[in-house]
Amino acid sequence: MAADLGVQPEKCLVFEDVPAGILAGKRSGMHVGAVEDVFSLSMIEEKKELADFYIRDYRELIQGAR
């Protein structure tokens, strides 16, 4: 993925909604943000432990930048 873009994995930010996707991003050397979704509500704690950060809504990224 990153190689196709000519970017080093550690310079990438991935957003994932399930633990398997979070692990794939982390194993690739990328930073991973976990995103809340209806399907994986029962996995919130696992997602928080695996990811670099957790958001409920993408708007939190904009609000946090202020």
Evaluate if residue 27 carries a pLDDT over 90: yes
Give pTM, 2 decimals.
Answer: 0.86
Q: pLDDT tens digits for 8-26?
A: 999 999 999 999 999 999 9
pLDDT at 65 over 70: no
For residues 62 and 58, give the distance between their C-alpha atoms in angstroms, rounded to a whole number.
8
Query: Can you list the domains of the chain with their CATH numbers?
Result: 2-64 (3.40.50.1000)
Rg of the chain in Å (alpha carbons): 12
